[in-house]
A and B are shown apart, each in its own frame.
Chain A
Amino acid sequence: MSAVELDGPLESGASFPAHLTARVVTPGERPRVHGYDVEGDLARHYQPSDLLFLLLMGELPAAPVSRAFSVALMFLAPVSVAHASSHAAVVGRLCGAPASSTFGVAAIGAAEHARSLLDEHDELFVWLRSQRGQLPERFRARDEADVAAVERLVTALEPTGLSVPALAERPAREAALLMVLFAVGFKRRERLEAAIFLARLPSGIAEALAERPTNFGNYPINLPRFAYTEAQ
């Protein structure tokens, strides 16, 4: 079978570069991330959370930022099966999907979970950027559990030496975590979304792997009960 010679806009209508451009990780045998030798330098002196920070932000974190970022990742990480993102990963596993497909489902769920969290907190970032007035009411702690969680966050942050003045506004747990990410330098939405996504993804994967494929009999199929209606 021979190739057919055809002409079109991508043959003669426009010109494109001949090479793909790498901008973060150097290709080849001795990878560098944003200039740092991964195997000879970062692996010896830094933690995985520092590498994550470097990948997303382009610079290594200073010590207080590194510790505070680790605390934020830790607080963000647990996503129980009550959440749609982890629940979907478990259902993927139940279906008997290969592990890679289940991880893909978990990844989509975690990405959507992170996006919707930031959609709901748009106004919080307006407030954080302006540094004016009081924290909008909708981002304040809703109950004692929220208050206690933020107190634990403040306690965990104390040894890091990083100051997050906004935490004094009695924020809700999720708002408080976004305040910490903002304080360590995550000010662009895409990077915030990426950090939250990466922190939460392992929970969904782990919850799925803990389920047995095709364990349909033990899955609450009527949670929720879908009420079929033919009304327009």
Chain B
Amino acid sequence: MSLPELTQETRTAHWGWDEHRYFGHRVFEQLAGHESLTGLTVLSVLGRRLSSDECAVVDDVACTVTLADPRIWPLKLTRLIAAYGSTLPAAAAGLLSEQDARIGPWTTAKGAEVLLEFDAAIGSRVDEPETVRAFVKRYLEQHRFVWGFGTPFRGKDERLVAFRQCVRQRGRQDLRFWRLMNAVSAEVREQRGVEPNMGIAIAAAFLDLGMTPHQVGSLTSALMQHMFLAHAVEGSAQGASLRELPAGYVEFDGHAPRESPRAAETV
């Protein structure tokens, strides 16, 4: 019995004899020598290339988002797995922990959804404070938690301060979603007393580059991998010190000792 051939379409790539294809480009002829790692990463997520000016915004994000202290939880996780001596499983574990998590790069996808929701409601009235105030008030009444806001352990997100400077220097501060973010942030600050964080800023900058929320989250994840790799490399080379915490560093807060029903029956 002959089976129907199973096929799946892909726009990603094809392996040829002397030349390979990647998202519509000849790898050796069109990409090699012409495209940067950032440009390739953008192409991988968006399926299209960005101009060098636009890629510079992506580079700005990658640099200003670099907060890689090993005490930060997803990086700590990476460090713990690296304690067993392998590099890539540790990096993969960090990457895995990012999907749909409450902290980390996927928050930018959620932040992008928030901004698109405000954009649909506010549209071109972003310069009308009363209009923005009313929509933010209604949104906050319906949402206890707002993605892209909140700056744990400090009053403001220093990464956003630095990234704002980059956006200004590139003359992108008057683009649609950046302005919307500023207008919404002012009202959220006023009504909730919380500051915007880097997540909503990345979302705004990437929406201004024409990305979807899913692309925003995926690209931000890619742009943060250097931090996971750094800890995977350093941690795996450092040996076993984190494999088991010394006695005394762990407290037990669970069920008191007890005997099982079957053990009790045999007494």
A residues within 8 Å of B by Cβ? 8-10, 13-14, 18-24, 26-28, 32, 34-37, 41-42, 44-46, 58, 60, 98, 100-101, 104, 108, 223-231
Contacts and interface: CB of A to CB of B under 8 A. Distances in A.
Contact of B251 (A14, A19, A41, A223): A19
Contact of A21 (B13, B21, B250): B250
Nearest to B153: A9
A229 B6 contact: no
Contact of A35 (B12, B92, B249, B258): B258
Given A45-B266, A101-B89, A223-B6, A22 B255 contact: no
Contacts of A58: 255
Given A27-B247, A28-B247, A224 B7 contact: yes
A100 B247 CA distance: 28
A27 B244 CA distance: 10
Nearest to A9: B153
Given A226-B7, A230-B24, A100 B254 contact: no
Given A21-B252, A35-B254, A37-B257, 13 more contacts: A8-B69, A10-B69, A13-B154, A20-B251, A22-B251, A24-B254, A34-B254, A35-B256, A36-B258, A46-B262, A60-B261, A98-B86, A227-B9
A41 B14 contact: no
B53 interface: no
A35 B6 contact: no
B208 to A, nearest CB: 21
Contacts of B21: 228, 230
B259 interface: yes
A101 B5 CA distance: 31
Contacts of B142: none
A64 B249 CA distance: 40
Contacts of A104: 89, 92
Contacts of B71: 10
Interface residues of B, number: 40
Interface in B84-111: 86, 88-89, 92, 96
B23 to A, nearest CB: 8
Nearest to A8: B69
Interface of B: 5-14, 21, 24, 69, 71, 86, 88-89, 92, 96, 152-154, 245, 247, 249-263, 266
B252 A26 contact: yes
A90 to B, nearest CB: 17
B260 A42 contact: yes
Contacts of A24: 254
Contacts of A37: 257, 259
B259 A41 contact: yes
Nearest to A103: B89
Residue of B152, B252, B253, B261 with highest tally of chain A CB at under 10 A: B252
Nearest to B69: A10
B68 to A, nearest CB: 12
A229 B86 contact: no
A226 B89 CA distance: 28
The 9 lowest CB-CB distance pairs between A and B, nearest first, are: A35-B255, A224-B6, A45-B262, A9-B153, A228-B14, A35-B258, A230-B24, A19-B251, A14-B153
29 contacts: A8-B69, A10-B69, A10-B153, A13-B154, A14-B152, A19-B251, A21-B252, A22-B251, A22-B253, A26-B254, A32-B257, A34-B255, A35-B258, A37-B257, A37-B259, A41-B259, A41-B263, A42-B260, A45-B262, A46-B260, A58-B255, A104-B89, A104-B92, A224-B7, A225-B6, A226-B8, A226-B10, A228-B10, A230-B11
